[in-house]
Structure 1
Amino acid sequence: MRRQYHFRQSDIGLLAWDVHRLVALSRELPVSHVPLSSIAELDEAYWWDAGSPPPTCRQVIEHMQLVEAADLQYPIILCPQGRVMDGMHRVAKALLQGKQEIAAVRLFELPSPDHVGVDPDDLCYDDV
């Protein structure tokens, strides 16, 4: 699978977490089911930020393909505050399927980011 990152803006620059590390850190956490209505990212710009050009139809279709391929057997990963750190394509798929909730694990502590102040284009996206 291709390396992926979770990004968040901060006062010290863009923070990036390696999703494969988040998966490893959350592997033993208890799985619960959270209501889709509690996932704030569903009503926010998520894949394309306000500063970037609007997505092309091709980019939207590519994301639709990722949503279609998402596997709901894997829980999403939430930070301690309940924000999605991994699994937004699964969230979208669950909503499209009319589900009311989704399996999730919640980190007890926010791990330190793997990268601070980086440009996403400078990160490694090789297959792991």
Structure 2
Amino acid sequence: MRKQYHFRNSVQGLLMWDVSRLIKLAQNITVTEVALSSIEELDEEFWYDLGGAKPTCRNVLEHTALINKADLSYPIILCHEGRVMDGMHRVCKAQLIGLETINVVKFAEYIEPDHVGVNEGVKSVELTDKPKN
């Protein structure tokens, strides 16, 4: 699996969570289902809203390839507020193939980020990493 991070803006600056750590923390959480219609990120600039990669045709194609390869047998990870921390490509695939729900694990409380006040340049490098075959 390619190294992945979840980013979120805050008053403290850009926050960054290591997705590998989130997966480990979520291992014992009961899997439930949520309606895709409840996932707000479907109507947001999820991959492009923090000033990183631009939605060029090439970048959209890279995300399309990741969507096509997404494995829906793994639940997505939601923060305690119900926001997607991992699995947006799976969300898109589920929507694309016409599912109405998706499996999720949701943290009951706030998970501290791995880094606070992350430099935008670091974010750009992380998001442009190509998946390894």
TM-score using structure 1 length: 0.91
Q: Which residue does the alignment assign to 2:73?
A: 73
Output the amino acid matched with 2:74.
Y
Cα 1:19–1:53 change in 2 (3 A) is closer
Q: Which residue does the alignment assign to 2:6?
A: 6
Shift of 1:29: 0.3
Shift of 1:76: 0.2
Q: Which residue does the alignment assign to 2:43?
A: 43
Runs (5+) with no aligned partner, structure 2: none
Q: Which residue does the alignment assign to 1:33?
A: 33
Distance 1:52 1:121 in 2: 8
Q: Tell me the C-alpha RMSD between the 2 structures.
A: 2.1
Q: Which residue does the alignment assign to 2:118?
A: 118
Cα 1:94–1:111 change in 2 (3 A) is same
Deviates more, 1:43-52 or 1:113-122: 43-52
Q: Which residue does the alignment assign to 1:100?
A: 100
Cα 1:53–1:110 change in 2 (3 A) is closer
Cα 1:3–1:120 change in 2 (3 A) is farther
Distance 1:33 1:26 in 2: 15
Runs (5+) with no aligned partner, structure 1: none
1:3-56 Cα shifts (integer Å, max 9, x gaps) = 110000000100000000000000010000100000000011101127467411
Q: Percent identity?
A: 56
TM-score using structure 2 length: 0.88
Distance 1:114 1:46 in 2: 20
Q: Secondary structure at the match of 2:60?
A: helix
